[in-house]
Amino acid sequence: MRHRKHSNQLGVKKEHREALLANLSTALITHGKIKTTLKKAKALRPFVEKVITLAKKGSLHNRRLAISRVRDTGAVHELFEEKVEQFRERNGGYTRIYKLGTRRGDAAEMALIELIDADDEGYGKKSKPKAKSKKAAKPAVEEEASVAEEAAVEEDASEVKEQAPAEEEVVEETKAEAPEESEASGEEEADKKG
């Protein structure tokens, strides 16, 4: 039974898949990033990361294992001698995959897979604000509500005091204007009749 032994088979036989991954890994090591289909990129990621882990160990045995998998001595030499230094402090996660959309001819999902630089900090984890305990939160809410009610009552009282004298002034002005208007309207009516 091959239960729980999933790997990206890519629709080809074992020998073809190994040759494909060896060629893709050679291109990735030499160029730093390559554009391929998303499925191939996802299959390439664990393959290359295991080879980079072999390079970090650096022994002759690990070099020969890497050569047997990658099948290109020049790429393995470059990885073991030059590129391994940028992965010394990083524990896994040596590659990053970006989705690029679909290919025009057959609508295959394309991706860009790249080796991560040594100084790349990544995305970082966002720290969630710590929630206060329920017991401490309830009294705080009650205090805020009582303070808000007191402030609202004070504002209403001050507004009422300010509006009361203003209303009295308006009433007095309208009373003073009313007799003048009645006299003026009486003169206008006389002019219209005459």
Give per-residue pLDDT as tens, 25-40.
999 999 999 999 999 9
The residues that bridge with 23 in the sheet, in sequence order, are none
- Type of residue found at 77: H
The Cα 22–Cα 66 span in angstroms is: 10
Can you list the positions of beta strands (E) in the chain? Answer: 33-37, 95-102, 109-115
The beta-carbon contacts of 33-37 under 8 Å, at least 24 apart in sequence, are 33/112, 33/113, 33/114, 33/115, 34/112, 34/113, 34/114, 35/100, 35/110, 35/111, 35/112, 36/110, 36/111, 36/113, 37/103, 37/108, 37/109, 37/110, 37/111
The model scores a pTM over 0.85:
no
DSSP class of residue 89 equals T
Digit-coded pLDDT (tens) for 114-156: 999 888 887 776 777 776 666 555 555 566 666 666 666 666 6
